[in-house]
Amino acid sequence: MKSNVYKILFFTPLLLVVLFCREAWALQTHGGVEGVVVHQLAHIQYLGALGYLFWDIRRSSFIGVGWRYLQRFCLLMMAWNGIAFIGHFAQMTLGEGAISTEDGYLSALLLLPVTFGKWVYYITALDHLVCVPALFFLYLAMRSFYRSLDKDKRGED
């Protein structure tokens, strides 16, 4: 009986959100210059934190495949932060008529003439080609850590 109450308490708000929600835009723009500055500083801080984690893993000489996967995650996410940092600057240099969003944000088109700044923006907009493999390496690292703990736990019994 108790489990049914918990299920109702869990699924009722979820059902209400699904039934009565309206448009939810996932794009959040930064207002004013201070928003971009804080966002760029966050990229620098994240890059530094990943760099320290990478260095600490190598310094500590952790062994195992999970640690190598975690190092690859750190390197790829550091590259992603650099790409995103440059891409934000490239986006700020674009003029108002550089990108057409007539059919919505997801179908944006880079308008002619193509300049060096537009190419930099276009290339850095493909940052998901670095971010997705990085997250896959994080998944592999976490799976490896879990399996090694599970193996240790079974060995103790």
Spatial distance between the Cα atoms of 84 and 65, rounded to a whole number of angstroms: 28
Spatial distance between the Cα atoms of 107 and 124, rounded to a whole number of angstroms: 17
pLDDT digits 0-9 by tens, 102-145: 888 678 888 888 899 999 999 999 999 999 999 999 999 999 99
Side-chain-side CA neighbours of 59 within 13 Å: the count stands at: 6
- The candidate with the shortest Cα–Cα distance to 77, out of 54, 57, 50, is 50
Can you name the residues that pair with 99 across neighbouring β-strands? Answer: 110
**Residue 47 confidence (pLDDT) above 90:** yes
Which of 15-19, 21-25, 143-147, 149-153 has the highest average model confidence (pLDDT)? 143-147
Torsion of CA 111, 101, 133, 50, to 10 degrees: 90
Can you name the residues that pair with 109 across neighbouring β-strands? Answer: 100
- The candidate with the shortest Cα–Cα distance to 131, out of 90, 81, 91, 96, is 81
Tokens read off for 41:
């500083």
* Main-chain dihedrals φ then ψ at residue 115, nearest 5 degrees: -110, 175
pLDDT at residue 59, as a whole number: 94
CA 155 to chain centroid: 36
Going from N- to C-terminal start, the domains of the chain cover 36-156
